[in-house]
């Protein structure tokens, strides 16, 4: 049984990192015309979308860590739904990156591994910390998306539509984690998370 479980988990990791993500919902930018972007604007939008894509890769690691360590399995359905929405976010950002003429970050496996490790570590300490970690992550991602929405080139309505829908989804995920009893993380942990995400965003914008 342990081996079955291990195979399923490894399969998830390989799928997350190396196969295109699939979205059940229609991509939020479908039906929106491509805007007129200068070369510099396109490059900037691409950098931002690469950061957001890596953020979604990290979300996969966290949710997988949550699923592996959760002691209370009664709410797993809600978490599976949220995790599936994160896969859709992956699909949307990935597709947009290709449309902008770029590729996803080469650092994705590294940040994925880090997030999975953190998700597992938080879960080992206890469900409420794991949930607290999830809620804080969703909160920080939401703030981040708000910032990127301001930074996007004016004419890039396609990326904007994607980030707006993601922001809405992340707010629901944060509420969900809080409703299931997320603990408020100690300020030093929040600080470490902010610093980690700063490192991630400044690197993946370029590579």
Residues that bind Fe ion (CB under 5 A): 56, 59, 86, 89, 138, 170, 173
Of the candidates 144, 140, 121, the one whose C-alpha atom is nearest the C-alpha of residue 65 is 121
In terms of CB distance, is 162 or 183 closer to Fe ion?
Answer: 162
C-alpha of 200 from chain center = 12
In terms of CB distance, is 45 or 177 closer to Fe ion?
Answer: 177
Q: What is the rounded distance in angstroms from the CA atom of residue 36 to the CA atom of residue 59?
A: 32
Task: Kindly state the smallest distance separating residue 38's Cβ from Fe ion, in Å.
Answer: 29
Task: Kindly state the smallest distance separating residue 70's Cβ from Fe ion, in Å.
Answer: 16
Task: Kindly state the smallest distance separating residue 3's Cβ from Fe ion, in Å.
Answer: 30
Task: Kindly state the smallest distance separating residue 2's Cβ from Fe ion, in Å.
Answer: 29
Cβ contacts of residue 184 below 8 Å, gap of 6+? 132
Q: What is the rounded distance in angstroms from the CA atom of residue 121 to the CA atom of residue 169?
A: 25
Residue pair 63/83 in contact by the 8 Å Cβ criterion: yes
In terms of CB distance, is 37 or 176 closer to Fe ion?
Answer: 176
In terms of CB distance, is 55 or 153 closer to Fe ion?
Answer: 55
* DSSP code at position 102: -
């Amino acid at each position: 049984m342990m081996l079955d479980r291990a195979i399923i988990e490894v399969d998830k990791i390989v799928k997350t990192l190396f196969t295109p993500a699939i979205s059940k919902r229609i991509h939020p930018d479908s039906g929106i015309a491509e805007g007129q972007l200068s070369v510099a604007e396109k490059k900037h939008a691409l950098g931002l979308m690469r950061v957001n894509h890596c953020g979604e890769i990290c979300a996969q690691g966290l949710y997988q860590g949550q699923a592996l360590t959760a002691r209370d399995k009664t709410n797993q359905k809600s978490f599976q739904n949220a995790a599936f929405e994160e896969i859709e976010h992956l699909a949307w950002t990935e597709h947009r990156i290709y449309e902008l003429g770029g590729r996803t970050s080469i650092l994705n496996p590294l940040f994925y591994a880090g997030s999975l490790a953190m998700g597992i570590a938080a879960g080992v300490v206890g469900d409420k910390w794991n949930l607290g970690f999830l809620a804080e992550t969703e909160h920080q991602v939401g703030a981040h998306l708000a910032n990127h929405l301001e930074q996007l080139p004016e004419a890039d309505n396609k990326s904007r539509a994607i980030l707006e829908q993601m922001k809405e989804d992340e707010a629901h995920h944060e509420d969900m984690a809080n409703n299931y009893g997320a603990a408020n993380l100690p300020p030093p942990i929040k600080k470490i998370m902010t610093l980690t995400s700063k490192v991630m965003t400044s690197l993946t914008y370029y590579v």
